[in-house]
Amino acid sequence: MKRFKNRFFTDSLFNAVRGFFVAVRRERNLKIHILIAIIVIVAGVYFKISRFEWIAIVFAINIVILSELINTAIELTIDLYTKKYRETAKLAKDIAAGAVLVSSTLAIVIGLFVFYNKVITFIGNILSGR
């Protein structure tokens, strides 16, 4: 029987990075979250958000990516257990997806707090010709 425990920290790190990139390649929603994160980071640089705002944005981005990775791991584990339709398997997957929904909603609220006034001012300046 093959051992699953990594003997060295570098092995653990390599496997974690590999796992992240496998998830990015396989999961459409994770790609969408990463694209949104890049857009938000560019907007943060453009609007010169404060250090506190950066902390909030980085937290929001990380909590969404984290919940998406956990959701993916749960879905893969359930698929490993059963390929047949089972109501409890569907429920477990739906609950895991619900965690992503909650974290994404939190990220949207944080994004609104950080960017709302900046974007409204930006649009107002464009419309007024400034």
Does 69 have pLDDT greater than 70? yes
Establish if 54 belongs to a structural domain: yes
pLDDT reported for residue 3:
63
Domain CATH code at residue 105: 1.10.287.3610
Does 1 have pLDDT greater than 60? no
Q: The domain containing residue 123 runs over which residues?
A: 10-128
61 exposure class (CB count in 10 Å sphere: 0-12, 13-18, 19+):
buried
Establish if 2 belongs to a structural domain: no
Write the DSSP string, 100-113: HHHHHHHHHHHHHH
pLDDT reported for residue 2:
60
pLDDT, average across residues 33-52: 98
Could you read off the pLDDT of 19-32 as tens digits, one per residue?
999 999 999 999 99
Distance (Å, whole) CA 118 – CA 48: 10
Establish if 3 belongs to a structural domain: no
- Cα distance between the two ends of the chain: 69
Interacting residues of 99 by C-beta distance below 8 A, sequence separation 6+: 67, 70, 71
In degrees, rounded to 5, the angle at the alpha carbon of residue 101 between the alpha carbons of residues 96 and 57 is 120
Which residues are known to be catalytic?
68
pLDDT reported for residue 82:
85
Could you read off the pLDDT of 90-111 as tens digits, one per residue?
999 999 999 999 999 999 999 9
